[in-house]
Amino acid sequence: MNRTLKRASNIFYYFLIAVLLCALLVVGLSKAAGNEVSFFGYQIKSVLSGSMEPGIQTGSIIAVKTGGEMERFSKGDVITYRAEDNMLITHRIVEVKNAGQQYVTKGDANNGADMNPVLAENVVGQYTGFTIPYVGYVFQFATSSQGAAVLMILPGFFLLGYSVLVIRRTLKQVKQLLHDKTIGTE
């Protein structure tokens, strides 16, 4: 029983360390890159609206392939682009204009096309088809100031609490050993 408890305790400890390191990595890379973290030419983006449902659900994360010629896209491709207010939008191309210099886009769940055509220079990348539902909520929270603080502080408190428990248990064992030794010498 004691061995099982110790093993579970060690697993929990290493799990907390792993969570803390992952949080540091995600938040650190995100902040250093201005929330534009790129892995091997792919960026992970959070989906905050339902304009592309049911294919891409609100709260999902998606992978976007960045780089290359932004005039290469064709009708039916799903792209992520910067709107006039610097907000990122992921929509499907419904029409290509001026040999790929402009794209008319539309969200799959929307009734009509977007008001303004997208300039090729505003395209960030192409949606790859990779999506994980609901993780976007966590990702969005983690990249916020409050989320970064929580993801750094909360595991730290757990580690601190765990350390206090280990120290108390060790002191209790030392005290018991000293007590046993004192009784054995009398």
Annotated catalytic residue within 9, 30, 38, 49: 49
Q: Tokens for 151?
A: 């993801």
Active site residue 163: no
Q: Find, among 147, 178, 138, the residue nearest to 31 by Cα.
A: 147
Provide the residue type at 11 as one letter: I
Phi-psi sector, 73: left (phi>0), alpha (psi -120 to 50), beta: beta
185 vs 129: CA distance, rounded Å: 74
Catalytically active residues, by annotation: 49
